[in-house]
Structures are given as C-alpha cells and as structure tokens.
Amino acid sequence: MNRPIEPTSPSRRWLAPRRLALPWVLWLFGLSTTLLLVGLWGRAVTMDQPTIAQSTEAALSADLVTDRVWEWIGEGLSVTEGISPVQADRALDEVRDRPEALGAVDDLVDQVVEALVAPPGTESTIDVASALAPLVPEVISGLAAQGVSVPAESVEATVDALDPVALDTGEAISVGVVTEQARGLLTLGVLAAAGMLLVFGLMAVALSEDRWPMVRGLATRIAFSAASFAMLFRFGGWVLDPDGGGSPLRRSGAVIVESNLHVFVFIGCGAAVIAAAIWIARRPLRGRISPPVARERVSDDTSTQELVSV
C-alpha cells in the first residue's frame, strides 16, 4: 500500500542551502574578526607615543646617532688650536665609555627621538652644544693623559660653536608623519572590519536553526581569537629579540609587537562575558524543555489482525 507523499514545508526546503552556506558565513566572520582585532591593535600602537618613542630609540641606539655625535666632537677638536686629528681621535676613544659621555649621547638620542615622533608640522631643534657640554672636562682629561695641554676655554668654545640642528616634520618623512598616515588607514580598516563582522554575524544567526546558541558561539570565537592573538604577539616579540640585546632593528620590532596587548585582553574578556551570560541565562530553559516523545508506529499487520478478529 503506497503512502501519499507529504508536501515539503518551506523551512525544510531551505534547510539544505542554509547548512551549505553557514560554514562559509562563519569563515567570513572569522576573517572579519581577525581584521578587526589586528586593526584595533595597530591603531592603538599608532596612538601610543611612549611605545613609538621607545621603539625609535631602540633603533637609533645603534651606531647611527652615536657615530654622528663623535664625528661632531672630532670635527670640532680637530680645528682647535694645538690639537691634531690623531690626538683628538685618541682622546675621544679614551672618554667614549665614560658615564658622562654615555649620558651626553643618550641626551642627544632622546632629542632626536623626540623630533622624529613629533606630530606633523612641528619644528623641533636639537641643541647639540648643550648636550655635549658635560663632555668638555672629560675631553680635557683625555688630552691631558696624552700629554696635550689645551685651555678649557678653547674646548668650550669649540663645543659652543656647534650649531643646533632644526628638523621640520611638515615635509620630512618622520616617524610622526608615518604613524599619522598609518592611523588614518587603520581607522578605515577597523570600520570596514566592524561592518563585515556585524553583517556576517547577523547572517550566521539568521541561517542558524537555534539563534541564541549561535550568538554564544560567535562570542566564543571572538574570545578565543583575541586570546590567540595576545599569545601569538607576545611570543612573536620574544622571537624577535629573545635575549633583549639583539640588533637594534630586532629590538625595535619587539617593542612594537609586545605592546598594547591589553587590546586583545579587553576584547576577549568582553566576548567571554557575553558568551557566559547567554549560557547562564539559557541554562534553566534546558531543564524545562523535555525531549519529544516518539510516537509508536502501528504496523499494517496489527491493523489487519484487528479487522480479521472482528
């Protein structure tokens, strides 16, 4: 006996396409989460002036600025009366590692970093003479150790004659200009990623057969992604400079990568709180909803036997 074919309901008709589209929507949601997390972190870095200054200082603490400082001093001493270029080089080699010399170089590095990270349009001046003034007694003592007697006034006049260096960040490509440009691009990226996250999140909820578990699952995905990025960036900073004394560029990159990890922590904690709240709110409902009782199927043989007995 053939049974009549029951008409397919519209919800069942769309069940297969929904199940086919849902994995792709979730993949796009995960991609949007990645773009949003990285964009928010990058924008936080561009607004973190102390981190940018520390990273720039780590890069400039190489021989770039240090050699230039000693060139300035050497050029000044070589034109001083009574000091030959060879004697000037020997005196500088002797005082190079003294605390006063290191302090003067650090002062100049700080001024260079401050000028580089200044906002566009700012005119910064590096006062070379005042930064190198503490080196005058050390240079005189270094020359005296070689048997060269030079009046202190001559060395002081040589240092005072060093002209200040003016840097205009309006046209020059400085760190401040680069970070401002990057901040604008990252802001657009964050807005686009947030829009994608909202669209694909709503699509995933609409395609899901049970809405609230899907919302909880999406929040859980964001929480785990944020935690993964925090651990990845922390590990990446250690890989770049494991002993903390590598090359200046590696140290500079490590400072950037290890910074502003609180962005991932805050977003991950917020998403975890949302997922936990949904789980707690729906927990009492699970006990109230009883599983449907399966109806016993009456076979054709049983109905036939009842008719025959009658």
Higher per-residue pLDDT: 126 or 216: 216
Q: Which of 149, 168, 187 is the last residue of a domain?
A: 168
| pLDDT of 303 above 50 | no
Give the Cα separation of 279 and 137 in Å (integer): 72
Helices 136-145/99-116 angle, 10° precision? 140
Query: Do 30 and 86 lie in a common domain?
Result: no
Give pLDDT tens digits for 90-116. Answer: 777 777 777 777 777 777 777 777 777
DSSP string, 255-303: HHHTS-THHHHHHHHHHHHHHHHHHHHHHHHHHHSPPPPPPPPPPHHHH
Q: How many domains does the chain have?
A: 2
Query: Do 180 and 41 lie in a common domain?
Result: yes
Query: Do 280 and 188 lie in a common domain?
Result: yes
Average pLDDT over residues 136-145: 76
Residues above pLDDT 70, as percent of the chain? 73
146 assigned to some structural domain: yes
**Residues forming beta bridges with residue 168, ordered by sequence position:** 123
105 assigned to some structural domain: yes
Give the Cα separation of 253 and 237 in Å (integer): 7
Give the Cα separation of 69 and 105 in Å (integer): 7
pTM score, two decimals? 0.69
Give pLDDT tens digits for 35-75. Answer: 999 999 999 999 988 888 888 777 766 566 677 777 767 77
291 assigned to some structural domain: no
Q: Are 53 and 118 in contact (CB under 8 A)?
A: no
Average pLDDT over residues 128-155: 74
Give pLDDT tens digits for 157-178. Answer: 777 777 676 665 554 456 777 7
Query: Do 198 and 239 lie in a common domain?
Result: yes
Count of CA atoms in the C-beta half-sphere (13 A) of 218: 26
Query: Do 36 and 130 lie in a common domain?
Result: no
Query: Do 187 and 252 lie in a common domain?
Result: yes
Give the Cα separation of 210 and 76 in Å (integer): 79
Give the Cα separation of 72 and 271 in Å (integer): 56
Query: Do 130 and 208 lie in a common domain?
Result: no
Query: Do 204 and 273 lie in a common domain?
Result: yes
Q: Which domain holds residue 39?
A: 16-48+175-284
The per-type count for the chain, helices as H runs and strands as E runs, is: 14, 2
Query: Do 24 and 108 lie in a common domain?
Result: no
Give the pLDDT band (50/70/90) at residue 297: very low
Q: Is the Cα torsion angle 246, 252, 253, 259 positive or negative in sign?
A: positive
Q: Which of 119, 143, 168 is the last residue of a domain?
A: 168
Count of CA atoms in the C-beta half-sphere (13 A) of 51: 18
Query: Do 36 and 82 lie in a common domain?
Result: no
Query: Do 187 and 162 lie in a common domain?
Result: no
Give pLDDT tens digits for 176-206. Answer: 777 888 888 999 999 999 999 999 999 999 8
Query: Do 182 and 268 lie in a common domain?
Result: yes
3-state helix, strand, coil in the chain (%, to 5): 75, 5, 25
Give the Cα separation of 23 and 33 in Å (integer): 15
CA distance to 103, 202, 204, 286, per residue, from 196 (Å): 51, 10, 12, 32
